[in-house]
Amino acid sequence: MGKNTFLQDFKAFAMKGNVIDMAVGVVIGGAFGKIVSSLVANVIMPPIGLLVGGVNFTDLKWVMKAAEIGADGKEIAPAVTLDYGQFLQATFDFLIIAFAIFLFIRLITKLTTKKQAEVAATPPAPPAPTKEEVLLTEIRDLLKEKNR
């Protein structure tokens, strides 16, 4: 019985709207991140690299220890490098992704606020009269006719 309850609890948890919404958000966020990373790497960074003298940021590094080459010309030990260009590229990616998300959230907020303002500006319809009110109105109207 414990196993069945565990599975039922897990199913209830997994099927909650928040969990499913979060999963969809993660998938869409990953895809959005790839799109923006491609935008940064393939569209934005080449002109910036051209402006700064044809530098490809991902190639920037500081060689702390050169590679060791043996007498036969083969590499014995690889070079030890500090690849700060990769860090710069990741920082540019982050800033542009953060800015794109900021613009998207700002747009959604404006649309939501505008829709809420439209809903708030529309007055609610008056409630329909109750059966008692209808009956009392009819009695009043009958009394008015009788007194005339």
| Mean pLDDT to the nearest integer, 76-91 | 86
Report the pLDDT value the prediction gives residue 121, as an integer from 0 to 100. 72
pLDDT given for residue 2 in this prediction: 57
* Dihedral Cα 20, 21, 26, 32, nearest 10 deg: 140
- pTM for the whole thing? 0.49
Specify the DSSP class assigned to residue 52: T
Question: Over the stretch 33-82, which tens digit does the pLDDT of each residue have?
Answer: 788 778 877 888 788 778 877 777 778 888 898 888 888 888 888 889 88
First CA to last CA across the chain, in angstroms? 79
The number of beta carbons lying within 10 Å of the beta carbon of residue 89 is 20
Name the one residue in this structure whose structure tokens are 């934005």: 44
The two tokens of residue 119 are: 């809903």
Q: Model confidence over 91-137: pLDDT tens digits?
A: 887 887 788 778 888 998 898 888 777 777 777 788 888 999 988 89
User: Does the pLDDT value for residue 29 go beyond 70?
Assistant: yes
Token duo for residue 45: 């960074």
pLDDT recorded at residue 148: 77
Query: Given pLDDT bands bounded at 50, 70 and 90, which one contains residue 3?
Result: low
